[in-house]
Chain A
Amino acid sequence: MTAPARADALARLLGAPPDAAVLDADERAEPWPEGERILAEYGLGAEFVPVAHGGRLDRFDHLVEVLRSVYRRDPALGLGYGVGSFIAAAAVWTAGDERQTASAARTLLSGGRIAAAFHETAHGNDLAAVDCAATPTPDGLLLHGRKEVVANIGRAEALVVFARTDPRPGPRAHSLLLLDRATVRDATDLPRHATTGMRGVLLGGLDFDHVPVPADSVLGGLGTGLETALKAFQVTRATLPAMATGVLDTALRIAVDHLSTRRLYGGTALDLPHVRSVLAGVFTDLLRAEVFAAVALRALHLAPGSAGLYSAAVKIAVPRLLLDAVDRLADLLGAHFYLRGGPSGLFQKLLRDLAPVGFGHVARAACQSTLLPQLPRLAARGWTTPTPVPDGLFTLDGDLPPAAFDRFTLHAGGRDPLAAAVADEDRPDLADLAASCASLRPADLGVTATPAHYDLTTRYVRLLARTTWRRAHLDHPARGFLADPAWSRAALHRSDHPRVPLPEPLAEAVLGELLERHRAGRSFGLTARTPTARPDSREE
């Protein structure tokens, strides 16, 4: 895959900031000021606005690649400056009318922020239990209640609030409101939440005290809040974990920097077979994460009716890959991982900042709950009479129709074009999974599903991911590392035997690519971009 030119432009603007500047901001638990200034100058908000509404968002994979430029340098800047706005904006693009989308676009294009006020601490991922209420009145709605742990809620120009508009339980009890922060009076800022990672993100809350809001602030009609959120999340569930691969990219660079200069037992640490094997495995896992995400992002354009499956699958698989990989790098760095200063001092911040990729926004378990009820229909329909694979689904460099938010559906209805591409070797697994899913009863599919039933989703996700790794290799033009059989063999080995090191010749082939990229200062992800070198000024 090639990166859009503007991702490189942003990378150039950000340059190679000294780790000390990013770390100082983290220590003070403040946004990195120079980073925020640069993103404002670049106009990051326009990345979140579809071209049709005057912004630069045309492809989700390009959005991700632009944000990776930020996550590579400071994940807290990526989440804290921008991504919260994207979660909010996605709901507006999904359900907003012309006036509302124009208003949101204006806010973002002029450098403003929109806070995504969904979360209430008492309910976590249980959106249907949200208490904060917007009660219809003759003049509009009266907003009352609290929103907590919301990025930038204290300084955003606009808010998207997920609120209860019907006291009765059910899927149509909530609505989404787009509010101009300046018109929201009688709301009290709640104390900021201190977190162990992403310390520079301003996580706050608002306590609304019977705030009157206009009726036309409702996005897509009363009672459609949950449906809109679940559709918009199909985009964010895939894009957020995909952006976070930039964190592993830099963590891997720090590790290679350190291990290739660290003198140990008369050589460098990089001479040790164990070290080489771990690095090769981590690099493979980074590419596994990026390839799986890339296909899911393409599906948002090419198979929007089924894309929700793949977004949930990415959210289940990619965070696990990233978190495990960073832990293995921490083991290699040993005491140097544990220090907050020195040449590897940024690593511990990356490890802390990466943590919410798993539970943040929507937890992995909640995504399993999204997939599980769909499995019986997929087994009965999608895996027996395959949906045609859209052209170019696996051609990561291929063109895409413009990003659109109005074509997602709550359920795939049994259509699963990715499963149609499952390789012959994995067909027996898919058939076996289908047999297990066929006997599922409705009672097996809710939040009280047994772990064994939850595990069916894990098996399904695994088959999807393997399919993307194989096909990205087969469909790849004859250049680049994805075209190398070593890549797909390593990817499948890591999937088949997660605890067994790569066979040595394979590990060496993978490591050769890694070290060559390290030498050339190219990134370790799909696009192998330059420049990503860390600055010399990081030496203290």
Chain B
Amino acid sequence: MISLAAVERAFEDDPGAWSPEVLAEADEREEFPVGAVEALDALGVAAHYVLGPDCDFPRSAAVLRAVARRDLTVAIAHGKTFLGSAPVWVAGSAAQVDGLAERVRGGASVCLALSEPEHGADLLAGEVTATPVGRGWSLDGEKWPINNGTRGDLATVLARTDPAGGGRGFGVFLVDRAGLADGAWRCLPKARTHGIRGADISGFALRDAVVGPEALVGGAGDGVAVVLKALQITRIACTSLSLGAADHALRLAVRFVAGRRLYGRTLADLPHARRTLGRVVARVLAAEAVALVATRSVHASPDELGVVSAVAKAFVPTTVQDALGLLAELLGSRGFLVEPDGFAKVERDHRVVGIFDGSTVVNRTLLLTQLPRLGRLLARRRYDADGVRAAVAGDLPPFDRDRLTLVSATGCAVVQSLPDAVDRVRAHPLAPEGLLALTGPLLAEADAVRDEAIAFTPTVGGLPAAAYRLAERYENLFAAAACLHRWLAHVDHADGPLWTDARWVRGCLAHLLDRPDDAVSDALARAVLDHPGALSDVTR
């Protein structure tokens, strides 16, 4: 499988496909980035989209991040094959998995067909039907908007197998377009979108689309469960898209701040501008800590992904979008110009990450339905310590799809281990005073969230507005725990200006706890301005 380093080398070696001018022009003209997508195919990047016992999900996520760092539209256009094939990886038969793995490695494009024109996130409202015919099924109805709805060779389609619908009334079907009768698959028009303008966001209408029994993934009533399990993993994969966008924007911002002259100085000489840049760095590093721990959790604690994926998909895109908002103001009119390798495109493209695969509010709702139990488990301080260790660093166990479950019985080990992580930090000889000072407020916040979570009663007919703030605070605890664990795991051998005085983790905690951050933000900004490689010292 192609390595991350080889993918990054290929960007430099093939400037044609990856030229900022070409990508910007495709964006303005709303053309699919054919050259870049073909280049990824030629490199065999799609092999990273095959998820099985011998996969390395964090490594695959890092490859997707590297592509997103180059161009988010391309990453979304190409990475959709992972989304589309995920239901097969989590629930397909051995024959389905082997067959699709071969197709994906061979460059076939697979789309995930959940959305319907009238029902976005509401899976149970889907109207596409699957009717038994002979030994197989006939599919009918429209899927739109779908990423790669027109260019997809295959689609995983959620369809109603029981006319009455319900939790057990849907099935997932792997539909091979080439195997359908003429006219059974009709492409629907491309949606004109705010960002990712070149991506193929379209759809298709199925009419008497007859597929064999081998197309059904899982049982005829398993569709919703299969999709929800697949989403646990794809939602974590989405965080790579956000991190890639953040990397890209930070590179542009550092260059701007270092080079922009105002009032006889550079912007980097203005403390006020440095604070903004430092705040962006803190947000991006907090998002990265969550994403890296979540990505490793796919191997380390698959039985808890129902919580972890919701936290990661709510926290990471939101935090990165917030960081991009700060940068937009810092860049001013420069960030508003349409230009090759420009900030404006990154900002527009990234706004979709918080929307697809379950929006932030959908994921917070999911988290809230589990929150009272999560509060009680946090109070007990019991968790799978081996799982947490593996989610943070070191060797990973093989991915075991049979451990995926819709509801995590053990809660969220990362959050439940927070008080112990604080104890370890407090006992650590390298923990500076500035970090220790934040641990008290962090524990106080953990206690408050725990108590409010236990007292919270999810209601039917819409959760109260205040609950969404509570979900956000729980996400922040996850992020704080992820930061502390990563610091503990690496501090003994880590080096670089962001590790000095635990700067990066202090910056993250100050942001997460809304504490004074002037000094640490300034230190973070100076670190990335003075040391171009500083950020990669943390990403390990």
Contact = CB atoms under 8 A, between A and B. Distances in A.
A448 B332 contact: no
User: By CB atoms of chain B within 10 A, which of A122, A194, A267, A356 has the most?
Assistant: A194
A274 B465 contact: yes
A264 B361 CA distance: 13
Contact of A196 (B121, B270, B338, B463): B338
Contacts of A359: 329, 332-333, 336
A192 to B, nearest CB: 11
Interface residues of A, number: 62
A335 B201 CA distance: 11
Given A274-B465, A338-B355, A359-B332, A193 B337 contact: yes
A40 B522 CA distance: 51
A263 interface: yes
Contact of B262 (A124, A149, A352): A124
27 contacts: A123-B261, A124-B332, A126-B263, A128-B263, A195-B338, A196-B338, A196-B348, A273-B463, A274-B462, A274-B465, A327-B325, A334-B121, A335-B145, A338-B351, A339-B191, A340-B194, A352-B194, A355-B328, A359-B333, A364-B329, A447-B262, A447-B270, A448-B265, A450-B518, A500-B469, A501-B469, A507-B465
A25 to B, nearest CB: 15
Contacts of A332: 361
Contact of B272 (A122, A277, A365, A501): A365
Interface in A170-195: 193-195
A168 to B, nearest CB: 14
Given A124-B332, A365-B272, A273 B262 contact: no
Closest 10 CB pairs of A and B: A277-B465, A359-B332, A196-B344, A501-B465, A194-B338, A340-B192, A348-B194, A272-B462, A451-B275, A447-B263
Given A271-B461, A454-B272, A331 B360 contact: yes
B241 to A, nearest CB: 14
A397 to B, nearest CB: 34
B336 A341 contact: no
Interface string B255-287: 000001111110001111101000000000000
B352 A449 contact: no
B332 A340 contact: no
Nearest to A502: B465
A276 interface: yes
A338 B352 contact: yes
B194 A337 contact: yes
A263 B121 CA distance: 11
B337 to A, nearest CB: 6
B120 A335 contact: yes
Contact of B332 (A267, A363, A449, A499): A363
Interface in B106-122: 115, 118-122
Contacts of B347: 196
A351 to B, nearest CB: 8
A5 interface: no
Given A272-B462, A339-B193, A340-B194, A149 B333 contact: yes
A123 B121 contact: no
Given A196-B344, A338-B193, 16 more contacts: A196-B336, A196-B348, A264-B122, A331-B354, A331-B361, A334-B355, A338-B194, A339-B145, A355-B336, A358-B328, A365-B272, A365-B273, A368-B272, A448-B270, A501-B468, A504-B464
A448 B336 contact: no
Nearest to B328: A355
A124 to B, nearest CB: 6
B272 A449 contact: yes
Nearest to A349: B194
Contacts of A395: none
Interface in B326-382: 328-329, 332-333, 336-339, 344-345, 347-348, 351-352, 354-356, 359-361
Interface residues of B, number: 59
A112 B263 CA distance: 35
A359 B325 CA distance: 12
B270 A330 contact: no
Nearest to A333: B355
Contacts of A277: 465
Contacts of B269: 448
A355 B290 CA distance: 29
Interface in A242-295: 263-265, 267, 271-274, 276-278
B354 A450 contact: no
Given A195-B338, A264-B122, A356-B336, A126 B469 contact: no
Contact of B337 (A194, A365, A449, A499): A194
A451 B336 contact: no
Given A334-B355, A339-B193, A450-B518, A129 B263 contact: yes
A451 B122 CA distance: 45
A73 B148 CA distance: 34
B359 A334 contact: yes
Contacts of B332: 124-125, 359, 363
